[in-house]
Amino acid sequence: MRCAHWSLVAGLSLAVIYWLVDALLHTSLFHDRDFWAAVLPLQDADEMWVRALISAMFIGFGIVMDAVLARLRRVHQRQGCLVEKLEQSTQALGERVKELRCLYGIDELARTEGTTIEAILEDVAALLPSSLQYPEIALGRIVYEGDAFGAAISQEANWRQTAEIVIDNASVGSVEVCYVEQMPDRDESPFLEEERYLIDSMAVRLAGIIKQKQAEQSLRDSEARFQQLSRMDGLTGLLNRRGWNESLADEERRAQRHGHQTCVMMADVDDLKDTNDRHGHAAGDDLLRRIAECIRVAVRDIDKVARIGGDEFAILFIECDRDTASPVSERIEAAWLAEGIKASWGIAMRNAATGLQGAMAEADRLMYEMKANRRTDPSIAKA
């Protein structure tokens, strides 16, 4: 009999016991009949009714208790089911929290400015095990364009899960996790169904992050190239006015901090207008390029050379005194003469009072002084 009816059995048993005890008492106390006649006193209706009523009370009590206990058992079973579901939900929630932490960690890495793709993949591979159900025996690896980041995972690993990283319909790598020990089978071998979704989601996110970082890197090359071009004279390849001003300001700060000497040379082509008028602007452009090349091969690698106007050039001799600058200026002039180029120039030292701007103004004054002297006496070569 099912255990759910033990109260009813107990009630019936008590009724029978009561009936037999009452018969035994009549037999032993009153001796008015034998035991079996006392068990079933058909001649005494009142006694039969009393016994039946009391026995019915025992049986009724058993029925009521049986119903009550059955209800309590059902409530307990439902509570047990609820507790089990709650434990399952709590465990599932804990797994989702781990997954969300992993995804959040990936997003944080992606938002870090200047982080390389390789650094992100290395950190994400380290995050992978913590998102799984058994992180203590899990390994994570990311493969991207033939390079592996994270733990070494054998291709023959039995408990392994993989998702491809796809960019522009082409597979560029994979996200891989594995267990180093066998665990109970779940939705996908030892892996949960949600873990499959997580791995797939991570592969998609990494594809987006890689594309984003590639775009950022491309933009930084473009910006760097733009900055370079914005400081460069397109005709001669020298610094333009903007590049010259920036270089002059940088060197002025260095000179103020370290106290070294610096020279500025200004030069101007004497016959550019005549060349343009007689031979066209193409010839004039070629003349400017030849002037620039003469300067470029004569100066040191650390010196700054600029075309700051149509036919005006400037040279910044870095950490250089007049004794060092003079031979360089002479080499420049000799190269111009060898090319048949006529130009006037002036050179001046920086002093602490006026700085490089003052040296530039003084070199410019000396240049125009040489130009004026040449107009009156063409044989003059130097100021």
Structural domain boundaries of the chain? 3-93, 113-226, 241-376
Does residue 383 or residue 309 have the better pLDDT?
A: 309
The H-or-E segment that residue 69 falls in is helix 45-111
pTM: 0.54
Mean pLDDT value of segment 89-107? 63
Taking all residues of the chain, what is their mean pLDDT, rounded to a whole number?
83
* pLDDT of amino acid 306: 97
* pLDDT of amino acid 1: 41
CATH number of 113-226: 3.30.450
C-alpha distances in Å from residue 169, one per residue of 164, 165, 172: 11, 10, 9
User: What gap in Å lies between CA 231 and CA 245, rounded to an integer?
Assistant: 10
* pLDDT of amino acid 349: 96
Please check whether the domain covering 241-376 is classified as CATH 3.30.70.270. yes
- pLDDT at 291 exceeding the cut of 60: yes
CB-count burial class (<10 Å; 0-12, 13-18, 19+) for 120:
buried
* Residue listed under structure tokens 């003059």: 380
User: What gap in Å lies between CA 312 and CA 248, rounded to an integer?
Assistant: 16
C-alpha distances in Å from residue 336, one per residue of 183, 199, 286, 345: 83, 69, 13, 12
Does residue 101 or residue 178 have the better pLDDT?
A: 178
* pLDDT of amino acid 381: 47
Beta strand spans in the chain (E):
138-144, 147-150, 160-167, 170-179, 263-269, 304-307, 312-317, 343-349
C-alpha distances in Å from residue 49, one per residue of 52, 61, 88, 174: 5, 18, 57, 87
Q: Contact at 8 Å (CB) between 260 and 254?
A: yes
